[in-house]
Structure 1
Amino acid sequence: MAEFVDLARVDRIGLDTETTGVTYDDRLVGLSVSLPDGSDHYYRWGHEMGGNNCSKREVLRWVKREVNRSDLTVFMHSAGFDLRMLAYELGHEHPFPRARVEETGFMAALLNELEPDLTLDGLGQRHIEMEKEGDELWDFCSQAFGGGATRKAQAKNIWRAHGDVVEPYAKRDSRITLGLGDHLGPRLGEEGLADVYEMELRLIPILLRMHMVGVPVDVNKALALKDKLGRLLTRAERKWESDFGDVSYTSTAQLATLFDKLGLPYRRNQPTEKMLEKGITEGNASITKDDLEYVQHPVAEAITRMKKLKHFKGTFIDNYVLANVDPNGVIHGEFHPLRNPRFGTRSGRFSSGGGLNLQNVPARDEEWAPLIRGLYVPASRTQVWEKADYCLVGETMVETLTGPRRIDSLTAGDRVFTWHAGRVSWGEVSRWARIGRAPTFKVTLDNEGSFTATGDHEMVLRDGGKVRVEDLRPGVGLAAFRRGSAGAGYETVYSASAFEYRYTHDLVAEAYHGPKPVGAEVHHVDEAKRNNSPRNLAYVDQTEHRALHAFKTVDEQTRLRVLRSALRRRRSYAGKGNPNWRGGKEDQTCVDCGDAFYQWPSQVNVRCVSCRRCGAPAALNHRVVSVEPAGERVVYHVTVEGDHNFALSCGVFSKNSQIEFRYLAHYAGGQLARAYNEDPDIDFHQICAELVGIPRRPAKNINFGIVYGMGKKLMAAKLGVSLHEAALLLEEYHDRLPEVSRLYNRADRRANQRGYIVTWGGRKRRFEKRGRGYAHTHKALNALLQGSAADLMKKAMISVADGLDWETTPMHLTVHDELDFSVPREKRARGRFNRVLREKMEDFQLRVPVVVDIEFGEDWGSCKPAEEGTWRKRRADLPKRAEA
């Protein structure tokens, strides 16, 4: 039997574990320890083939007695994993909380986040000329258990092998770990990385505790949601099979053939060299999610829906929840603060992995995100779920003639869609004002979309009448609005109450260029039919316009002739007959939703004008499902000339993380910092739009373009303008916001001079050497902002965890800029916790205020804003930050 070493005579050790695997269900089988005097020890008790030299109880006793000492430094590689495996055996407790744990993987990642190989073997060879001895072990496992004699094939069988065969391999692991600690540790101080390294080390016990606490889930609700998704998927697949036979919606090649038959566009990749050698000039078809959204066709919508249903059911229900839940109804995720051999990011932001990427749980899908996130619940019935994040809650989206806009970004003079004389028209915003905070109601519609408004706000009914929000009841029908696509590819706006589509380009041209002259048509200057920017529209004589599009007119006439022929035969594209065919231009009743609609002969491929998704009722956004209080929110008053109404985007609530842009204002200073100090809730893109004198949307695209180092061509495409116009916009932007340009150039220059930039928390972001300079330095500003945002989040997390009562308020998740807890249901207790939480998450000395938003609910998917009136008043009294 093994003799356990006395660690009283040493100040540091290298420690490594051997396990049955890497999941929550796996366990330890051995522990290796290396000392500075050159001695190595491997204590083992769980090898399947024997060769064990101690019991698990003896080793755990030794760990508590010898390793758990305040004067001992324990070097580990993948410390989070090794500590977790030890904690499983110790009742979910930190195995040696008094010892100082150092992580050699963190050292390597901080010293060079571009390191090509962060494995223990790779780092050992590169830094201390030591490599793991595994060849004999792989040969033994291959002969004993089959498979190739490689680490990849046999790593899962190490625990099954004889302990004596594994011993040299295990000892080498802890020896390399100790050597790396001695070699890399001093370099952290030399390169000014000691402070950020200490911050990363302080996260280790927090992340260990979060993993052990886990995330409770409602298994019964998960099973019910899985069943619902399965039924919808089966129904959609049967409909697809009846329409298109054995065409697989998951096969790009088969979809390309189908798209060719239907005349639908799709992209092709560049041909490979082998293709060119064979005389093939076209690459393989590429039909991505973005391509399907661009097509705007019922077939594309059906494919998108089936893929979404399949993905949500398989990934987020089966794989994330049901495959990972333990007997207590808890799943145990992994969070990685730095890049490692399997997970992590170079920016310093957290990642999640280990077969369960909790940062990937959908948040923006209006239909399914609340239901999927609703599976994650508080730890007990006496608690509620609470999330705190550095996000600004966007307000209601308004449909303008140039696209959806946040209501808080509207200005007098903007043109919006309105309801006029029983049909969709346009009106001009004559007045816009921010009223302040007021009690609101959330109205949920029949598509699970929603909008939030004050009780006295009036909505337009389907018959043109008006009703106050507080008087709405389930079943009330509102005048509906939606965007659609005409058969020729033009965008339309649809009114369910008027049973008609109107071309968007006609409305926009009329609004911005005056009434259409007699004999004229609207021409898209760049020939992009869906680019309805006022600059892209012009009135052209009908004869001249049709001459410009002569070949397209012939194609369109041919298409319509085929469609009319199909209509006469009462057959649709699917070949199974058109269920909505009523023999001409008569009012009809949709077989899905029961609403009347007007069927044009050229629309035989559209199952129903108002129900266009896989034969299911499409969410007309006009029937009220529920009305419930939504707490106090910042509200806005908009006055539109004429009929004094405007179209909403029917339930769109957008959340845009802007912590990176707060850092941009912090570093840039000047008028951006002043604007944030005057109003901590202000929207960064709106600040820039007002200062530059351009609409919010191009300002937002320019902001992202500058931050992410976007080239002029891509930026022009994002803005929907020519290269020349993009250059003029950029010139105007930089003239009005010179501090942003200076910051971008300064970051790029420093990255080019020294090969790295330093973030707010002292982290270095490096750039690869290329010739006399460095590559990709145009992304230096993005690296600075992303890395600084990671620093802030980690410091906030450490501050919050310091003193956190894990029994009453356990921390479950960190998702991007968000922390999630179970908190007391009782209002006073929750209020006390929230006050402390805000203070800790907002107490940073930046030139701009950092604002945290807190929401709570019965589960992750139903969180709503917390009461924060007293906090808003307190924050208004805070001293202004120093200006740059």
Structure 2
Amino acid sequence: MLDGIFWDGHGNGKKKRADFRPLAPIPKTGWVKPSGYPDLSSANIISIDIETRDPDLKTMGSSVRRDGYIAGVAVGTDDGFRSYYPIAHEVGGIMSPHNMPAKFVFKWLSRELGRKEQFKIGANLLYDLEYLEHAGVTWCGQIIDVQIAEPLIDENNFSYALDRIANKYLGESKEDEALHKWAAQSYGGKPTRTDQARNYWRCPPELVGPYAISDIDLPLRIWEHQKMIIKQQNLENVFDMESRLMPMLLKMKQKGVRVDPKMVKKLGQEWREERGILVRNLSKFVNIREEFNADDKGHLKLLWDKQDLPVVKTKKGQQSFAAAVIDASNDPFVNKVKRIRQLTKSIGTYVDGYFGKHVINGRIHCQFNQLRSDDGGTVSGRFSSSQPNLQNVTSRGEFSVLREAFLPEPGQRWWKLDYSSIEPRLCAHYGSGPSADALRALYKKNPKTDFYLIAADAANIERPPAKVVALADMYGRGLASMALALGITEKEAERIKDLMHKANPFIPALAKAASNRAKQRGYITMLSGRRRRFDRWSPKNWDIRKKYEDKNGYGSATRDSEEEILAEFGCSAQRVETHKALNSILQGGSADLIKKAMVESFEAGVYDEIGVPQLTVHDELDLSADPENPAHVEAIFEAKNHMETSYDLGVFPLVDVEMGPNWKQVEDYERN
């Protein structure tokens, strides 16, 4: 199966290319080349970690579909086995004599990782498993990823690197000092992981081996601590769900989403031409020879002076050209600046970025981040995406045309399954009192009930302001934000808010109850048992806090404990951001709904018929299927059913189904 792959013949020590930089002496580390391929069937848990040559990892994500490859594999077990199997290490341009035959190593890994009853543990395991599957290794069994467990235990941490987790639980870190020192001496750079991780593949296995073995040893020992906390905090269900979700996310990344780069290239040409005309017009208008730069303060000052526009000063007395200043102007020439900025951003982000760098064989393979990590993710548990961030492709306005470039599989149609107004439905589920009872009754009678219209009628106001006020309550936004969104004064916004609260009291009451719960016990829980913790503190005395933050910046008065606040500020403390507790419940609830539905659909074989989803964006799941194929349509509606029934709520979480030729041009679909 693997004949003809690049690694055939590795391990013979033959020179591949010249490298004239002198190499540092290789220190002795005690690492010994494996003597065979043992039977690991007696273990309960197998730990895996790979070392790769992955040149584009930091800039474009995993190079598994480009020119990346595995340099070695570390394997360990909970009953004591630890070993590193190098397969494609170079040292100074020469293949290491310690390399082992890749096809034998991969055949052995398929055997050892193929037992369903054995857990597979590691850190950032989806990265490792994607490379292993690409190399032909098969595996099965439940995943334990300590970097998935940790953000469930502490979603507010500033880093989830394995080193930091190990230091937290074990008081130690990876064994990497000798490796980094040798790599820096031999290839340049600082003796740090940041500088040298890209060089591991061309470091001696004698040095990489101990480092890689620590990468399989640490997760095994970290998990012993994490699993106790998970049990103590009743996080078993959410950890199980997140773990079972990982094989599906792997398949989604491997599949990618089909795109039309030619269409985007044409759009880019049109946008560049338009931008060029605007730039030349502005250059001529302000009388400069060079191209007008919409981000250059000198060029912008020339425009402001020419038009005699109002000047806004910074705190330091300099003329401000902040985005808010430019956005506030309606001058026709400033509007040209705004347009240039819009075009430049879209060209840079989408045309040159997403479609210029990330398309491989007509597909984009983005990373879906299920929890917080050093590469992205959210504290609420909602999905984010990266490399590239396809959730960032707007669905509204002129630039939503980019969604037309996202295509279903050949001969099929794009299907969009989207939760309908999930926030008010979850509020109705959690709410209490007559107005909540009335809303639940309306949803039961008609699942398509428009809460915002019902709320507006009850308050005798229009639907748009009613929605703004309701969402502000749900998201913990203040009066100023409300007024800005409505384009009115704060006094008028307060009047509308009072009308809404009087007619629909259960939402502000629910927000207050959630905030009080967060203040009292320091956390709130979601449908799955997921927690959102409020463990940062600030001075309770507003004048003290404001004075400090006016001088040092917003949020600078927050600390990790009440004791620190008392010692530093001499006053009592309060938990910060508890006004956002309801927002966390709603965002986390919607995340739980879609994640559990995805797991259930995947494990029930729904996607066996139509393939795993193309994308997941917020409360939406995007799939590809043939509307003329009854089995495909049945699968779509099975997926919809799982989305609507994954949790037993007090209201029905309606899912709208839309279909069309691409991501943008979808329309309501009614099943016959």
Q: TM-score, normalised by structure 2?
A: 0.82
Q: What secondary structure, in the 3-state scheme, does the structure 2 residue paired with 1:19 have? A: strand
Runs of at least 5 residues in structure 2 that lack an aligned partner in the other structure: 1-32, 538-561, 563-572
Q: Deviations over 1:686-708 (max 9, x none)?
A: 22211222222332222122122
Q: Deviations over 1:670-718 (max 9, x none)?
A: 2222333333223332222112222223322221221222233443444
Report whether the alignment pairs 1:156 with 2:198: yes
CA contact (8 A) 2:609 2:635 kept: no
CA contact (8 A) 2:44 2:119 kept: yes
Give, in whole Å, the separation in 2 of the partners of 1:189 and 1:839: 31
Report whether the alignment pairs 1:786 with 2:587: yes
> What number of residue pairs does the alignment pair up?
583
Give, in whole Å, the separation in 2 of the partners of 1:826 and 1:267: 60
Residue of structure 1 aligned with 2:111, choices 62, 65, 87: 65
Find the counterpart in structure 1 of residue 543 from structure 2: none
**Letter matched to residue 428 of structure 2:** A
Find the counterpart in structure 1 of residue 668 from structure 2: 865
**Letter matched to residue 616 of structure 2:** T
Sequence identity percentage = 32
How much has 1:306 moved relative to structure 2? 1.7
Find the counterpart in structure 1 of residue 465 from structure 2: 698
Runs of at least 5 residues in structure 1 that lack an aligned partner in the other structure: 272-280, 392-657, 871-884
Q: What is the 5 A alignment of 1:793-832?
A: 793-801=594-602, 802-806=604-608, 808-826=610-628, 828-832=630-634
Q: Deviations over 1:232-290 (max 9, x none)?
A: 33233223323233442122453245224423346554x3xxxxxxxxx42562431x5
Q: Using a 3 Å threshold, how does the CA distance of structure 1 residues 679 and 303 change in structure 2: closer, same or farther?
A: farther
Give, in whole Å, the separation in 2 of the partners of 1:733 and 1:29: 62
Q: What secondary structure, in the 3-state scheme, does the structure 1 residue paired with 2:90 have? A: coil
Q: Using a 3 Å threshold, how does the CA distance of structure 1 residues 761 and 283 change in structure 2: closer, same or farther?
A: farther
Q: Deviations over 1:35-57 (max 9, x none)?
A: 33444211111112125331221
Report whether the alignment pairs 1:689 with 2:456: yes
Residue of structure 2 aligned with 1:671, choices 438, 445, 452: 438
Which has a greater percent of helix? 2
Residue of structure 1 aligned with 2:224, choices 182, 186, 197: 182
How much has 1:828 moved relative to structure 2? 4.2
**Letter matched to residue 776 of structure 1:** E
Find the counterpart in structure 1 of residue 304 from structure 2: 259
CA contact (8 A) 1:7 1:67 kept: no
Report whether the alignment pairs 1:356 with 2:388: yes
CA contact (8 A) 1:27 1:88 kept: no
Q: Using a 3 Å threshold, how does the CA distance of structure 1 residues 238 and 829 change in structure 2: closer, same or farther?
A: farther
How much has 1:787 moved relative to structure 2? 0.7
Larger mean CA deviation between 721-730 and 216-225 belongs to: 721-730
Q: Using a 3 Å threshold, how does the CA distance of structure 1 residues 725 and 221 change in structure 2: closer, same or farther?
A: closer
Find the counterpart in structure 2 of residue 311 from structure 1: 345
Residue of structure 2 aligned with 1:758, choices 509, 512, 525: 525
Q: Using a 3 Å threshold, how does the CA distance of structure 1 residues 264 and 313 change in structure 2: closer, same or farther?
A: same
**Letter matched to residue 229 of structure 1:** W
Q: Using a 3 Å threshold, how does the CA distance of structure 1 residues 386 and 717 change in structure 2: closer, same or farther?
A: closer
CA contact (8 A) 2:472 2:478 kept: yes
Q: Deviations over 1:337-356 (max 9, x none)?
A: 11112111111000111x31
Residue of structure 1 aligned with 2:424, choices 637, 661, 668: 661
Q: Using a 3 Å threshold, how does the CA distance of structure 1 residues 203 and 61 change in structure 2: closer, same or farther?
A: same
Residue of structure 2 aligned with 1:96, choices 139, 142, 151: 139
Residue of structure 2 aligned with 1:15, choices 48, 66, 74: 48
Q: Using a 3 Å threshold, how does the CA distance of structure 1 residues 284 and 783 change in structure 2: closer, same or farther?
A: farther
Report whether the alignment pairs 1:31 with 2:60: no
Give, in whole Å, the separation in 2 of the partners of 1:671 and 1:234: 57
Q: What secondary structure, in the 3-state scheme, does the structure 1 residue paired with 2:651 have? A: coil
> After TM superposition, where is structure 1 displaced by more than 4 Å over at least 4 residues in a row?
265-269, 716-728, 827-830
Give, in whole Å, the separation in 2 of the partners of 1:204 and 1:706: 34
Report whether the alignment pairs 1:53 with 2:99: yes
Q: What is the 5 A alignment of 1:291-302?
A: 291-302=325-336
Q: Using a 3 Å threshold, how does the CA distance of structure 1 residues 314 and 116 change in structure 2: closer, same or farther?
A: closer
Give, in whole Å, the separation in 2 of the partners of 1:189 and 1:747: 24
How much has 1:300 moved relative to structure 2? 2.5
Report whether the alignment pairs 1:368 with 2:433: no
Q: What secondary structure, in the 3-state scheme, does the structure 2 residue paired with 1:340 have? A: coil
**Letter matched to residue 377 of structure 1:** L
Find the counterpart in structure 2 of residue 709 from structure 1: 476
Q: Using a 3 Å threshold, how does the CA distance of structure 1 residues 386 and 265 change in structure 2: closer, same or farther?
A: farther
How much has 1:809 moved relative to structure 2? 4.0
Which has a greater percent of strand? 1
Q: Using a 3 Å threshold, how does the CA distance of structure 1 residues 225 and 717 change in structure 2: closer, same or farther?
A: closer
Q: What secondary structure, in the 3-state scheme, does the structure 1 residue paired with 2:405 have? A: coil
**Letter matched to residue 78 of structure 1:** N
Find the counterpart in structure 2 of residue 5 from structure 1: 38
CA contact (8 A) 2:39 2:112 kept: yes
Q: TM-score, normalised by structure 1?
A: 0.63
CA contact (8 A) 1:252 1:287 kept: no
**Letter matched to residue 242 of structure 1:** K
Q: Using a 3 Å threshold, how does the CA distance of structure 1 residues 722 and 379 change in structure 2: closer, same or farther?
A: closer
Q: What secondary structure, in the 3-state scheme, does the structure 2 residue paired with 1:836 have? A: helix
Q: What is the 5 A alignment of 1:341-420?
A: 341-353=374-386, 355-365=387-397, 367-370=398-401, 372-380=402-410, 382-391=411-420
Larger Rg: 1
CA contact (8 A) 2:474 2:507 kept: no
How much has 1:758 moved relative to structure 2? 0.4
How much has 1:221 moved relative to structure 2? 2.5
